[in-house]
Amino acid sequence: MPDQPAFATVNPYTGRTEREFECVEGRAVDDAVEAAHAAYEQWRAQPVEKRAEIVGRAAELMAERKDELAALLTLEMGKLIAQSEGEVDLAASILAYYAKNGSAFTRETALDVGDGAAVIVHEPLGVLIGVEPWNFPLYQVVRFAAPNLVLGNTILLKHAEICPQSALALAAVFHDAGMPEHVYTNLFVSHDEIARVIAHPLGKGASLTGSERAGASVAEVAARNLKKCVLELGGSDPFLVLDAENLDRTVAAAAAGRLGNNGQSCVAAKRFVVLDDVYDDFVAGLRTLFARLKIGDPADRSTTLGPLSSERAAAMLAKQVRDAVDAGAKIVIGGGRPDHPGAFVDATILTDVTPDMAAFKEELFGPVAVVYRVADDNEAVALANATDFGLGGSVFCADPVRARRVADRIESGMVWINHPTSTRADLPFGGIKRSGFGRELSELGMREFTNAKLVRTFPSDAPLGNVAG
């Protein structure tokens, strides 16, 4: 029998295990795939407007249950309560977006072929498996699930082991919105069982947000079984500061971009690339903001820095910082773990990180900022691109022409100018290089798991032309 993950709510602030859940495996997993396929045959036959109506009702229920859902996010992974409420709002907006626009996004597209007619019909594929992480337990699920549910696919969802109650609460939202049974199914399964679902003949695709290792594993199984997959695998996003204009705002944006979700975001600003004449003032300003942070209970609205998601995550990040310092990096502030119970790591600023250090290459997933000094725009771009990741990035500059010129040279799936990398329902989300491939959100998010089927029509008495295969 494969090792099973411990699906459990462990409060990262207290370390106390609140609830535990059993996994399913083997035949029960096959049964779930088969039930989802049977549901797909009925679900895809519903008018898109009916599917959209149910997804829209889920958005309403999510808004109505905002307090309950936000409390679960804070309990399970330590997110500050105001940010948990913001995540609920964001997830509800994504559901509402696809409820409103799904019908237009699935409308057939006519082609200008000159003779006869030709259209592209956008059809669902079938049963999809979603593998989602813990850091945004609602948002990252709905950005995958919402467009596909409106499209007519059915969803099997394997959530992270540390947020089972959030997973169940989201499944309840879909159920109570009127989603037919087995259209959206939460699965508490081991990592080994994910491969079983992808390989199943009735499984038609997989989407994963997570680590490079997990993404490579899913992609390997999907490729071996000729299945489509979409991967979002994190990043080491650069934050470029090109001038001193509005520096207070830039520093505030840097702190927000690094510390949101206690620093545990794939698109968090992680590498701050600052021109020489701004560098000292930028570092001093960022240090001041980091020094003002108050650690504590994430459910307390006066807390401004909560715990990491787990003790394991905190210990790993602290080790990465120690290794960098041992290799010659300098600490501006922080650098350790506070004398406080819970999975806390000091808000930390590192400088003098060099390419031979692990911290130069690794994603630091928590409240640790690495600041680099550069001489000019060319050096800034070269450093921004000196990473295996390519998810997001930011450019701060008062000159919009210069900012755009630099942004166009950054190798990533997203670049935001004069704002930290962020997300909205109507904007595509995804990366390149080792940050993965494919896009979620916007209309593009509804195109990943579709059959773009050509239907070509001639009059019944039209002459036959060349036939090629």
Determine the 3-state secondary structure of 445 from DSSP.
helix
CA atoms 411, 416, 422, 425: torsion sign: negative
d(CA 73, CA 287): 29
d(CA 185, CA 179): 10
Give the count of beta carbons closer than 10 Å to the beta carbon of residue 373: 18
Please answer whether residues 108 and 120 qualify as being in contact, where contact means their C-beta atoms are separated by less than 8 angstroms. Answer: yes
Determine the 3-state secondary structure of 233 from DSSP.
coil
Please answer whether residues 343 and 14 qualify as being in contact, where contact means their C-beta atoms are separated by less than 8 angstroms. Answer: no
d(CA 378, CA 308): 35
Please answer whether residues 281 and 271 qualify as being in contact, where contact means their C-beta atoms are separated by less than 8 angstroms. Answer: no
d(CA 202, CA 30): 9
CA atoms 381, 384, 389, 391: torsion sign: negative
User: Hey, which residues are catalytic here?
Assistant: 232, 266
Which amino acid is it at 71? A
In terms of Cα–Cα distance, which of 139, 53, 150, 140 is closest to 105? Answer: 150
